[in-house]
Structure 1
Amino acid sequence: MLSNVEMVARLVLAGALGSVIGFERERLLWAAGLRTHMLVCVGACLIMIVSAFGFADVMGADKVVLDPSRVAAQVVSGIGFLGAGTILLRGEVVKGLTTAASLWAVAAIGLAIGGGLYVAGIATTVIVIGILAGVKPIEDKWRGRMQTRELRLTVRSGTMSIDTLHVVAGARASRVRQFVVRPGTDPDHEEVTVSFVRLSQTSVDAIAEKLRKNENVISVASSGD
């Protein structure tokens, strides 16, 4: 059986590790922030302690067979209801999956600390923080490159073709995903929409600047304007 000091130490350490991950979510203003992660981690730690040591007084009784892992195992599946509460559908975009995953990871950290696996719990905390804070800039950069960007042009009728655009775009011409020409409100003008994929906003702006120098181009607007 654990001593009271050891038991309290585990609970405090679980709360501290949960707060580290919770703070990262809190600074991004997610619904599940500092307090939620701390509560989940401490609660999971206590459940692990109860599961492992709470039935010691009846373990020696005749015809009593207990599986110490059963109570702790319910945390793994039970934390799903809390994670589901952090997932939101905004339009057609799902938000909150990462926070739900961090709550699930925090629960696992709490179980590890409750079971006395201090190195595993601390190491997991470091790894989770590295994933949440360190990988995000790489992820944002990749998503930025994959984002579709548009140029909307007003040109003199019959002066803008896909070949003309390719000449202006140069090496970036392969990034053109869509080229659409429509009649403009003025009979002498056409509205052209050009979509690029896997191209930075800086590169799109450079193409727009070249197009503005074309005497047949009346106006250019980009998706970043």
Structure 2
Amino acid sequence: MLGNGEMVARLVLAGLMGSVIGFERERLQWAAGLRTHMLVCVGACLAMLVSAFGFSDMLGHKDVVLDPSRVAAQVVSGIGFLGAGTILLRGEVVKGLTTAASLWAVAAIGLAIGGGLYVAAIAATVIVVAILAGVKPIEESWRDRMQSRALHLTVKAGSLSIDTLQEVTGERASRVRQFVVRPGDNEGLEEVTIAFVRLPQASIDAVAERLKGNPAVIKVRTGSEM
């Protein structure tokens, strides 16, 4: 059986580890921020302490068999309900998955501290913070490169062909996924949509500038694929 001082120390450490991760979420003003992560970590730690040591006085009784992992195991499944509350659907975009995952990770860290696995808990905290804060710029850069983008042109009818587009885009022509021509609102004009894949915004802007220099192009707009 642990002493009271050791139990309090584990709970305090759990709160500290939860605050480190929660601060990163609080900085981005997510609903599950500093206090939520601290509470989850401390609560998970307490559940582990209860699971491992809370029923020790019952083990001496005849025919009493206890599984010390049963209470702690419920944290892993139960945290899913709290995580689901942080996930929102905004239009067609799902938000909050990363925060839900951080809550799940914080619960696991609390369980580790409650079980006395201090090195594992501290290492996991450092890794989680590195993932949340350090990997995000890399993820955004990669997403920016992989995102599908489009140019919307208003041109004189029959003036823009695939061959003309290849001359303008050069080596970027291999990134063209769609080339759609529709009749324009005004007679003698056409609306052209050119969809690119895996092309950064800077390259799209360069293509747009070159197209603006073509006398047959009336208007150039950049935006999402239609």
* Paired residue type of 1:136: K
Matches of 1:2 and 1:144 in 2, distance apart?
Answer: 52
1:121 aligned residue: 121
Q: Which residue number in structure 2 is paired with residue 33 of structure 1? A: 33
1:99 aligned residue: 99
2:53 corresponds to: 53
Using structure 1 for the length normalisation, give the TM-score. 0.96
| 1:180 match: secondary structure | strand
Q: Which runs of 5+ in 1 are unaligned?
A: none
- Deviation, structure 1 residue 92: 2.0
The C-alpha deviation readout for 1:52-79, integer Å capped at 9, x for no partner, is 1111222112221111111111111111
Question: How far 1:207 moved relative to its partner?
Answer: 0.5
Specify the alignment match of 2:156 in structure 1: 156
- The alignment yields a C-alpha RMSD, in angstroms, of 1.1
* Per-residue deviation, 1:45: 0.4
User: Does residue 70 of the first structure (1) align with residue 53 of the second (2)?
Assistant: no
Match of residue 176 from structure 2: 176
Read off the aligned partner of 1:68 and give its amino acid letter.
P
Residues 1:22 and 2:12 aligned together: no
Runs of 4+ in 1 over 3 A off after TM superposition: none
How far the C-alpha of 1:5 sits from its partner, in A, is 1.2
Distance of 1:157 and 1:106 partners within structure 2: 60
**Percent of paired sites with the same residue:** 77
Q: Deviations over 1:107-131 (max 9, x none)?
A: 0100110111100100110111111
The alignment status of 1:145 with 2:145, answered yes or no, reads yes
Instruction: Indicate whether 1:4 and 2:4 are aligned.
Output: yes
AA partner of residue 194 (structure 1): I
Instruction: State how far apart, in whole Å, the 2-side matches of 1:69 and 1:190 are.
Output: 69
Report the Cα distance in structure 1 between the residues aligned to 2:217 and 2:63, rounded to whole angstroms. Answer: 89
Letter in 2 for 1:190: E
Give the AA of the match of 1:43: G
Cα deviations by residue, 1:133-182 (Å, 9 ceiling, x for unpaired): 11111111111111111111111111101110111000000111111111
Q: How many residue pairs end up in the alignment?
A: 224
1:108 corresponding residue in structure 2? 108
Q: For residues 199 and 108 of structure 1, what CA distance do their matches in structure 2 show?
A: 39
